[in-house]
Structure 1
Amino acid sequence: MVSPFESRLSAMERERALQELSAHLVEGRLDAGEFDERCMRVGAARTRGQLADIFLDLPGYGGDVPNLTRSSAQLVVAAGMAVVALGLLLLTGSWWWLSIPLCAFVVLAVRRRG
């Protein structure tokens, strides 16, 4: 069985990736040189994994590639902290443990906007 990262790309997926790169260029995350280089990599990409690698350092890739980007990894860590804090609340009876994941979610929200 082929993993999602080894699946071949469609023309529509490449077009969507180019649109996303254009948005990052307009927003100032990429300069013209980086944009050109990444566009060439999109054209040369054959698999979803190769396409996902192009976006690893950019937020919010909306393609159908199931990748664990930095922002989603941060959410996984924050959710894990919430579970640990809930466990500590039940063990100790102190509600202050719940402030840990709350702070983490606030920090993540501010970082995603800024």
Structure 2
Amino acid sequence: MTDDREIRVGEPERQRALELLALHFAAGRLDPDEYEDRRGRATDAITRGELNDLFTDLPAVDDKGQVVERRPPAGMAARHRNPSQLIMGLVPFVAVGLFLATGRWWWFLLIPVAGVVARYLDGNG
């Protein structure tokens, strides 16, 4: 079976790559030197892999140059926290606040209790 990166491309694919590069240049994502370099590589491309490599650091765009795919910035992992994680992040601060307000140490017992409840609610218990 042939790897998709090794499939040969024709003139329509090269033209489409040039159009997309022009959109990225117009949007300011490429400086003039990068744009010219990538245009030359697109014109000389023989395989899909060579064309795809021109766009690895660029977002997907539609024909109007609008970003259609959002990626987190390089080095930034997308975080999706569930409510129990948020609660567990706040409970220690609440416990400290209640301790300072009342002088009762047992407010700190909220921390492990909240952890057990959060684990149960997440279905991991």
What's the TM-score once normalised by structure 1's chain length?
A: 0.56
**Cα 1:40–1:15, aligned 2, differ >3 Å: closer, same or farther?**
same
Give distance in 2, aligned partners of 1:40 and 1:7: 19
* Greater RCO, CA 8 A, separation 6+: 1
Identity %: 38
3-state SS of 1:24 partner: helix
Map 1:73-88 → 2, pairs under 5 A:
none
What's the TM-score once normalised by structure 2's chain length?
A: 0.52
Structure 1 runs not aligned, ≥5 long: 63-69, 86-90, 96-114
Equivalent position of 1:2 in the other structure: 2
Deviation at residue 71 of structure 1 after TM alignment: 3.3
Equivalent position of 1:57 in the other structure: 57
Give distance in 1, aligned partners of 2:16 and 2:120: 50
Equivalent position of 2:25 in the other structure: 25
Of the two, which has the highest radius of gyration? 2
3-state SS of 1:28 partner: coil
Which protein is richer in helix relative to its size?
Answer: 1
2:110 corresponds to 1:92: no
Structure 2 runs not aligned, ≥5 long: 63-69, 83-118
Give distance in 2, aligned partners of 1:58 and 1:8: 22
